[in-house]
């Protein structure tokens, strides 16, 4: 599990990702799919610091957020006093009532590092959506990501939030890990008067996926794909898949 979402890192994440991610666009993207499938209720998994929650709430939609990290949830709750947020693990959760749509956003699938994690997650999603319900999730495309990090030893992202300049330097190790798992080291700096000051040094293990293996995981977990979208999002190429329960 990443340390990126704990303690002071949650606030740093929140500040930097306001620059990286266009949350209005992100909301419109997911909401269009949700609406096209007549979904009235939505659970967002990996709801993070509640930036999408804010948009769902502003549009009076029936939204619940779920996240593993208490620190991320604390920021999300402060941002969205009217929203319901649940602390939970996507691999094993039970809602009181099934929902019409579950979205897993912001490449939170990267933290499902074993095949068991994926199977457990898809089984939980299956149990928590209605018969006509849908799931929508994104993941980093291994076929484009792995050549990219092989060619770029250090990947730098810059962000500006509330008058503060940030830099993130990422280094990805591909060696010796199964399942296209990667060791990600990210160093976070603030830039004050041209000086770089290290504010956090984060290590996490993440996984990237090929489209074919994700299709197979869905098949094995009784989902039928409705739509696959090749999507350029912040920093890395991703796929988004929308799927529904296979008819019995
Ligand atoms: C990259 S952040 C994305 C946050 C948000 N969707 C965004 O776009 O800003 C990934 C989020 O997934 C959460 N997460 C990681 N593993 C999880 C798990 N097993 N169950 C639930 N949430 C998890 C982390 O706590 C973190 O908030």
In this predicted model, what pLDDT tens digit does every residue of 145-165 receive, in sequence order?
989 888 888 889 888 888 889
Residue 3 pLDDT = 63
For ligand 1, atom 4, which residue shows the shortest CA distance?
Answer: 48
* Run of H or E residues at 23: helix 23-36
Task: Give me the residues of the chain with pLDDT under 50, please.
Answer: 1
Helices 51-58, 70-79: axis angle to 10 degrees equals 30
Q: What are 15-45's pLDDT values in tens digits?
A: 888 888 999 999 999 999 999 999 999 999 9
Residue 10 pLDDT = 87
Q: Could you tell me if residue 169 is left (phi over 0), alpha (psi between -120 and 50 degrees) or otherwise beta?
A: beta
Q: What does the DSSP 8-state code read for residue 80?
A: -
* Run of H or E residues at 74: helix 70-79
Residue 233 pLDDT = 78
Q: In the structure encoding, which two tokens stand for residue 84, read together?
A: 């319901």
- How many angstroms separate the alpha carbon of residue 47 from the centre of ligand 1? 6
Nearest 5°: CA angle at 40, between 43 and 38? Answer: 115
For ligand 1, atom 25, which residue shows the shortest CA distance?
Answer: 69
- Helix, strand or coil, per DSSP, at residue 212: helix
Give me the residue spans of the domains in the chain: 8-141+209-245, 143-207
- How many angstroms separate the alpha carbon of residue 109 from the centre of ligand 1? 8
Q: What is the mean pLDDT of the chain?
A: 92
For ligand 1, atom 13, which residue shows the shortest CA distance?
Answer: 46
Region 143-207: CATH code = 2.20.25
Q: What are 182-196's pLDDT values in tens digits?
A: 888 999 999 999 999
143-207 matches 8-141+209-245 in CATH topology: no
Test site for ligand 1: of 24, 44, 48, most ligand atoms within 8 A of the Cβ: 48
Start-to-end C-alpha separation, the chain: 35
Nearest 5°: CA angle at 87, between 127 and 122? Answer: 30
Q: In the structure encoding, which two tokens stand for residue 34, read together?
A: 């949700």
Domain 8-141+209-245 fold is: Rossmann fold (3.40.50)
Q: Which atom of ligand 1 is nearest to the CA of 17?
A: 9
CB atoms < 10 A from the CB of 206, how many?
19
pTM for this entry: 0.94
Q: 6 CB under 6 A from ligand 1?
A: no
């Amino acid at each position: 599990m990443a340390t990126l979402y704990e303690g002071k890192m949650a606030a740093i994440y929140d500040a930097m990702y306001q620059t990286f991610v266009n949350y209005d666009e992100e909301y419109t993207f997911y909401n269009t799919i949700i609406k096209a499938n007549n979904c009235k209720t939505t659970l967002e998994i990996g709801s993070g610091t509640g930036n999408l929650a804010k948009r769902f709430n502003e549009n009076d939609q029936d939204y619940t957020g779920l996240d593993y990290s208490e620190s991320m949830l604390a920021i999300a709750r402060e941002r969205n006093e009217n929203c319901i947020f649940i602390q939970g693990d996507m691999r094993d959760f039970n809602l009181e009532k099934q929902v019409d749509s579950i979205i897993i956003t912001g490449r939170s699938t990267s933290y499902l590092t074993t095949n068991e994690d994926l199977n457990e997650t898809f089984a939980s999603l299956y149990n928590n959506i209605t018969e006509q319900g849908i799931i929508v999730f994104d993941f980093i495309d291994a076929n484009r990501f792995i050549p990219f990090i092989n060619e770029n030893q250090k990947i730098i992202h810059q962000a500006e939030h509330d008058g503060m300049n940030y830099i993130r330097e990422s280094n990805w190790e591909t060696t010796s890990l199964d399942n296209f798992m990667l060791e990600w080291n990210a160093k976070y700096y603030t830039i004050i008067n041209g000086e770089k000051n290290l504010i956090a040094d984060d290590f996490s293990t993440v996984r990237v996926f090929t489209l074919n293996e994700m299709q197979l995981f869905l098949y094995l977990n009784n989902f039928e794909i409705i739509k696959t979208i090749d999507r350029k999002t912040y920093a890395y190429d991703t796929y988004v898949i929308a799927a529904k329960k296979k008819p019995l």
